[in-house]
Structure 1
Amino acid sequence: MSTTNRVYLVTDSDISQRAGHTVPFVVEEACRAGIRWVQLREKTMSTRSFVELGLTFKTITQRYGARLIVNDRIDVALAIDANGVHIGQDDMPYPLVRKLLGPDKLIGLSVNNMIELLASQAYADIDYLGVAAIFATPTKLDTVSELGALGLRDICLKTHLPTFAIGGINATNLQSIGQTGVTGVAVVSAICGHPSPYDAARQLIQLAQSYENIHPGSDNCRL
């Protein structure tokens, strides 16, 4: 996995707007900087608007050779032919998601603790794990506890899958989790809320270079 794939942008329209950006602008600038993972996450948008935004994202991500992942909404992912979906513990069960999407789409699963990690090991064809929450974050207020670097390390040691840490990660603390064995980091505010999404993405990619070859994932990894 290249260093450009070690930073994963998760979008947020509200945070982007507060920073003076449209979310397609953020995606364009992040991809231009080298981001190759973009997750479309919208919790309150209508289905029509979600699909329209997804199609806009798809045009941008295809231009840069980036992967487009849809959060939660399998119907939207199918409608826009996204590269895959990311699901949480309270979303549609993984086996059903895989049945609907087929074997060729990427599916990521969030795990928040060791119990959820062990349960996920029943599914051999998950593509990657999102490990949350590492630090406190205003974008996910229902987080019960913070894993921190030690909790993240424990989870990474127990899985062969690629892992993306998420939750309060930014340029000031990204390197503090570099020796946990994590594959990469997923960020929201650190790019969407930055005055320059391009500069923020470039800086994060450079900082993530220290993760190279630490935890490349399984031999049959598709990332």
Structure 2
Amino acid sequence: MKVDNKSLLLYLVTDRSWLREESLISQVEKCLINGVTFLQLREKNLDDDSFLKLAVEMKELSRRYNVPFVINDNIDIALKSNADGVHIGQDDMPIEEAKKIIGGDKILGVSVGTVDEAILAEKLGADYLGVGAIFSTSTKKDARNISYEALKEICESVSIPVVAIGGINKDNIEELRGSGIDGVAVISAILAEKDIAKAANELKDICNKIF
């Protein structure tokens, strides 16, 4: 499925680390109301039944706000929940196999860190790329950092949309201006903030000015 570049402007990846007294659904809805344009459900520890139930709820929510919705890694859950697609990393299922399973009508996002990985991912059927980690991040401690020059080179090497991820927040996002990315994927920059709605709104305004 061809991904609209504009839908990648402010991409939210879910994380339960900052739920406080709130549900994940409630937090995500605040984000969608206040400017998030793309949603990825990332769950590493839920059992399959709970994961599927949550995925179905997230799909309904994303549809209400007309925002594309993908599942991190788990193609089975993505298909059962009728998510718009799946996002995989370099150590997950081979790209061509994932594309074959989900079919041409679903979105396939792929994480890359080099020009070679980016070119191959596009060739094998990726619809968009996630490039990172751009800055140091507490979410993925083992992630390698990608320089601005490398990020720009990746963007120039492919024709599909590119979103940057990893430690991006309102204080450093300006450093990505001119890199060629279509947007940023964030987690803590929104979900770790006390006022999630305000954080999403501020980031959306900044993204609109930069990208």
- What's the TM-score, normalizing by structure 2? 0.92
1:194 partner SS:
coil
1:7 to 10, 15, 25: 10
Cα gap change, 1:37 to 1:121, in 2 (>3 Å)? closer
Counterpart Cα distance in 1 of 2:8 and 2:157: 22
8 Å contact from structure 2 (residues 30, 197) kept in 1: yes
Q: Give 1:84 shift.
A: 0.4
8 Å contact from structure 2 (residues 165, 186) kept in 1: yes
* Unpaired stretches in structure 2, ≥5 consecutive residues: none
Counterpart Cα distance in 2 of 1:2 and 1:95: 22
**Aligned equivalent of 1:169:** 168
- Number of residues of Structure 1 aligned to a counterpart in Structure 2: 208
Cα gap change, 1:3 to 1:204, in 2 (>3 Å)? farther
**Aligned equivalent of 2:118:** 117
* Unpaired stretches in structure 1, ≥5 consecutive residues: 213-223
Counterpart Cα distance in 1 of 2:52 and 2:138: 26
Q: Give 1:20 shift.
A: 4.7
Cα gap change, 1:4 to 1:198, in 2 (>3 Å)? farther
**Aligned equivalent of 2:180:** 181
2:60 partner SS:
helix
Counterpart Cα distance in 2 of 1:114 and 1:67: 26
**Aligned equivalent of 1:150:** 149
**Aligned equivalent of 1:75:** 76
Indicate the percent of aligned positions where both proteins have the same amino acid.
38
- Structure 2 letter corresponding to 1:189: S
Cα gap change, 1:121 to 1:82, in 2 (>3 Å)? closer
Counterpart Cα distance in 1 of 2:109 and 2:172: 24
Counterpart Cα distance in 2 of 1:5 and 1:138: 22
Structure 1's consecutive aligned runs of 4 or more residues displaced over 6 angstroms after TM superposition are: none
- Structure 2 letter corresponding to 1:98: K
Counterpart Cα distance in 1 of 2:106 and 2:122: 19
Q: Give 1:31 shift.
A: 0.6
**Aligned equivalent of 1:26:** 27
- Structure 1 letter corresponding to 2:131: V
**Aligned equivalent of 1:95:** 96
**Aligned equivalent of 2:43:** 42
- Structure 2 letter corresponding to 1:79: K
8 Å contact from structure 1 (residues 8, 37) kept in 2: yes
1:173-212 alpha-carbon deviations (Å, 9 max, x no partner): 1121021011110001111111121111111111111344
8 Å contact from structure 1 (residues 3, 205) kept in 2: no
Q: Give 1:120 shift.
A: 2.0
**Aligned equivalent of 2:132:** 132
Counterpart Cα distance in 1 of 2:73 and 2:27: 21
8 Å contact from structure 2 (residues 8, 163) kept in 1: no
